[in-house]
Amino acid sequence: MEEISALLADPAAWAALATLVVMEVVLGIDNLIFISILTNKLPEHQRSRTRRIGIGLAVILRLGLLGTVAWVAQLTQPLFTLFNHEFSWRDLILIAGGLFLIWKATDEIHHNVTEEHAEEVAASGVAGMTMASAIGQILVLDLVFSLDSIITAVGMTNDIPIMVAAVVVAVGLMLLAADPLARFIGDNPTIVMLALGFLLMIGGTLLAEGFGVHVPKGYIYAAMAFSALVEGLNMLARRRRRAR
């Protein structure tokens, strides 16, 4: 209790908490986009519940990893060297996650541009996705994003209570945004393609990070924000043309 009281009275701790919350929310956007696209393929009555389960799994994984910070730190230790690059468990997990995200986004783009898929969705209302399958795929990405998030957080502060508080606040914000974001993506088909493009870019970034090529996150999110702005202007223009 004394340690927590000291943290609450420390301005530096509040600054660290605010920074970590922003970081967790920004990193959580990637996860939330993936969850939204995936759950929109489920029957209507299963979507909200699956989103909550997916986000709940994310918080459980992150809090669980926070409880094993020493083990997480060891994941950055080199395992072997290949092509003059030392690979760690973190690198291998990022590479696997990046490949999975690239494959999933490419597969979704393929399905969205084929006439056969369009007819299938129109006929059935879903795209052959089951709740268990959706949760399994969400769990895979939760693990990758959670690991990346916790390793980044450990590099910013050593205070576990601050990291736990940041995770809880960020996940609470994700829960509030999950359903509105999913509805927005579902109501605007062009947004789906834009979001899949984001996932392709994020998958490529994870792959590059796994091979030791650091890509500043600011560039990635600036590109995403610019693309979203352009698409927003396109949506506004289409709406005005329909209103004439």
Q: What is the DSSP string of 78-101?
A: EEEEETTEEEEHHHHHHHHHHHHH
CA-atom Rg of the chain in angstroms: 19
pLDDT at residue number 121: 47
Q: Which sign does the torsion angle of CA 47, 48, 52, 58 carry?
A: positive
Helix (H) or strand (E) holding 149: helix 131-154
Dist CA 199 CA 41 (whole Å): 17
- In percent, the amount of the chain with pLDDT more than 70 equals 80
Query: How much is the mean pLDDT over the chain?
Result: 76
Q: Token digits for 73?
A: 């730190």
pLDDT at residue number 154: 64
pLDDT tens, position by position, 166-210? 788 888 888 888 888 888 877 777 777 888 888 888 888 888 888
pLDDT at 43 exceeding the cut of 50: yes
Residue 215: inside a domain, yes or no?
Answer: yes
Dist CA 201 CA 152 (whole Å): 20
Split at pLDDT 50, 70, 90, the class of 122 is: very low
CA atoms within 13 A on the CB side of 79: 11
pLDDT at 7 exceeding the cut of 70: no
Residue 81: inside a domain, yes or no?
Answer: no
pLDDT tens, position by position, 75-98? 778 888 877 778 888 888 888 888
Who wins on pLDDT, 122 or 54? 54
Which structural domain, as residue segments, surrounds residue 61? 2-76+86-243
Residue 180: inside a domain, yes or no?
Answer: yes
Dist CA 61 CA 106 (whole Å): 26
Q: What are phi and psi of 77, to 5 degrees?
A: -75, 140
Residue 108: inside a domain, yes or no?
Answer: yes
Residue 93: inside a domain, yes or no?
Answer: yes
> Quick one: average pLDDT of 131-151?
79
- In percent, the amount of the chain with pLDDT more than 90 equals 0
